[in-house]
């Protein structure tokens, strides 16, 4: 596994339901590091840019309406294998199908409102992060707990 940075968006339903802190806690408790955060109202243009790969799909217009309906919390999250780890923590797309212990499984029932967006691979993470965090906006820092999150005995995080 390599050190990765991925995009996580706490969607309008997570914000409206007061779950932002609990969801961020889940990510941090897993050992992931927050390196960027923005609380904002998505414009139609920003939502269209983010969801460009889904243009033309049946759910696209509804997704844009939903994502622009209320503020969102946008996070840049870093860790070893962060993309895969975040997707496992988030759970299956539909809350009704997500396993207990995942964010969607514990907090979601809806098949429309699914609380969290997470980049699905390195290419999408890079593209999506660039939409919200211009070069130089992410903060790279060392945490005192790093040696308790990763085995650093070889000189590289494991």
- Residue numbers annotated as active site: 117
Q: Are 151 and 158 in contact (CB under 8 A)?
A: yes
Q: Are 28 and 78 in contact (CB under 8 A)?
A: no
Distance separating alpha carbons of residues 73 and 2, to the nearest angstrom? 25
Q: How far is CA 139 from CA 9, 34, 44, in A?
A: 18, 9, 27
């Amino acid at each position: 596994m390599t050190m990765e940075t991925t995009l996580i968006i706490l969607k309008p339903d997570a914000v409206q339901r007061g779950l932002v802190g609990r969801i961020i806690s889940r990510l941090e408790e897993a050992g992931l590091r927050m390196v960027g955060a923005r609380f904002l109202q998505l414009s139609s243009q920003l939502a269209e840019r983010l969801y460009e790969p889904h243009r033309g799909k049946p759910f696209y217009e509804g997704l844009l309406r939903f994502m622009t309906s209320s503020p969102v919390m946008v996070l840049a999250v870093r860790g070893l294998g962060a993309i895969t780890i975040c997707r496992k923590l988030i759970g299956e797309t539909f809350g009704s199908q997500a396993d207990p212990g995942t964010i969607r499984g514990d907090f979601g029932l809806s098949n429309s409102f699914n609380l969290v967006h997470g980049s699905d691979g390195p290419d999408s993470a890079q593209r999506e992060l660039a939409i919200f965090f211009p070069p130089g906006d992410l903060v790279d820092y060392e945490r005192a707990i790093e040696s308790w999150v990763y085995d650093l005995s070889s000189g590289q995080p494991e």
